[in-house]
Amino acid sequence: MLKIGNLELQNPFVLAPLAGITDAVMRSLCEQQGAAMTYTEMISAKGIYYGDKKTVQLAYIPDNAGPTAIQIFGSEPEVMAYAAGKLDKLANSVLDINMGCPVPKVFKNGDGSALLANPAQVYEVTKAVVENSSKPVTVKIRKGLTSQNINAVENALAIEAAGAKAITVHGRTRNQYYGGKADWDIIAEVKSAVSIPVIGNGDVFSASDGIRMLKETACDAVMVARGAMGNPWIFRELIREYKGESKASEPTREEKISMMMEHLELLCKLKGEEIAVKEFRKFVVWYTKGMRGSSHVRQKINHVNTKEQMKEVLNSEEW
């Protein structure tokens, strides 16, 4: 059983933090399929510091949620400390620090993956959060900034020394963004260097990918990101393969439509119909990828504005 501080996870498969995607609805659907822990979208520590309402809403965790990590980003120890203290009363099980986001807007502010260039700052930011949170603190990093600057092990050691209870390693550099191939060897190197749990991340698009990552890197858990988009069933499949059970059958067309309907309903309850229908369009693209007639559905959903119209398209016999 994997332990992160005082938290015991039921299996080694977790849902990654994904901006604009891992809201309370997406997290709950992945939990239903077996995800041992899910992460919120990344939340700005400065947004919390200045009391921004939209920022606070991203930290919403339903009462019936399973283990949930709130992920924050920032680079100023005092601001991160304040955010950690402010979030401490919420229902999250873990507080995670984002040191891997490669997006230019975040990077230019010195946040996310920009921190990787300075292990001393990595230590100070982590320590500030640890000292102001009663929850286990974890950190998500990348391989390094560039292929000429691979320092994941050095940063991992700084994170461990600062008191974090686990580290997630994405096997790409900042400059790779999400392109190229993830280097799983760096995950294994970090695992060999630290004594706290290591969560592997990068290029897990199927259950066999996840099981292979566990075996090849000896990591303690696997974080699924893009592989769960439109495919919450990946957690069901990962657990079956992990237990040595027969491979789960692919979700049927009916299962996919049923999941989409549930997703849409929950999204409307959470965000209101107008916002939910617009946001749901991208999820339909992911759910229907590779399905017969999916291009027809994608064209139609761009012209619907209500929940009933969306349901009508999804239930149509035309695809």
Q: How confident is the model at residue 62 (pLDDT cuts 50, 70, 90)?
A: very high
Q: What would the pLDDT profile of 143-166 be if each residue is shown by its tens digit?
A: 999 999 999 999 999 999 999 999
Our answer to whether residue 101 is catalytic in this structure is: yes
Please report the pLDDT score of residue 179 as a whole number. 94
Residue 11 corresponds to which tokens in the numbers above? Answer: 């299996």
Q: Which of 30, 101, 219, 268 is catalytic?
A: 101
- Residues of each domain in the chain carrying CATH 1.10.1200.80: 253-314
Q: How confident is the model at residue 248 (pLDDT cuts 50, 70, 90)?
A: confident
> What average pLDDT score do residues 278-291 get?
96
Torsion angle of C-alpha atoms 90, 102, 161, 85, degrees rounded to 10: -20
Residue 45's contacts (CB-CB under 8 Å, 6 or more residues apart) are: 72, 73, 74, 76, 79, 80, 82, 83
- Residues of each domain in the chain carrying CATH 3.20.20.70: 2-242
CA atoms within 13 A on the CB side of 301: 29
> What average pLDDT score do residues 262-270 get?
98
**pLDDT > 90 in the chain, percent:** 95
Average pLDDT, the chain: 97
Please report the pLDDT score of residue 252 as a whole number. 93
Q: What would the pLDDT profile of 105-133 be if each residue is shown by its tens digit?
A: 999 999 999 999 999 999 999 999 999 99
Please report the pLDDT score of residue 318 as a whole number. 73
The domain 253-314 is placed in CATH, from the list 3.40.50.300, 3.40.1160.10, 3.40.920.10, 1.10.1200.80, at: 1.10.1200.80
Q: How confident is the model at residue 7 (pLDDT cuts 50, 70, 90)?
A: very high
Please report the pLDDT score of residue 1 as a whole number. 80
Please report the pLDDT score of residue 310 as a whole number. 97
Q: Does CATH place domain 2-242 in 3.20.20.70?
A: yes
End-to-end CA distance of the chain: 44
